[in-house]
Amino acid sequence: MTASSFTSRVHAIVASIPKGRVATYGQVAKAAGNAKASRAVGMAMSRNRDPKAVPCHRVVSSTGALTGYGMGKGIITKKSILKKEGVLFTGEKVNLEASGWKG
DNA sequence: AGATTGACCGTGT
DNA sequence: GACACGGCCAATC
pLDDT of residue A4: 80
Residue numbers of chain A with a pLDDT score lower than 70: 1-2, 51-52
The H or E element containing residue A86 is none
Q: How many CA atoms, within 13 angstroms, populate the side-chain half-sphere of residue A94?
A: 34
The pLDDT, as a whole number, for residue A102 is 86
Is A90's CB less than 7 Å from nucleic acid strand C?
no
Distances (CA, A) of A66 to A1, A2, A23, A44, A58: 27, 27, 11, 16, 9
Round to a whole number and report the distance in Å from the CA of A62 to the C1' of C3: 17
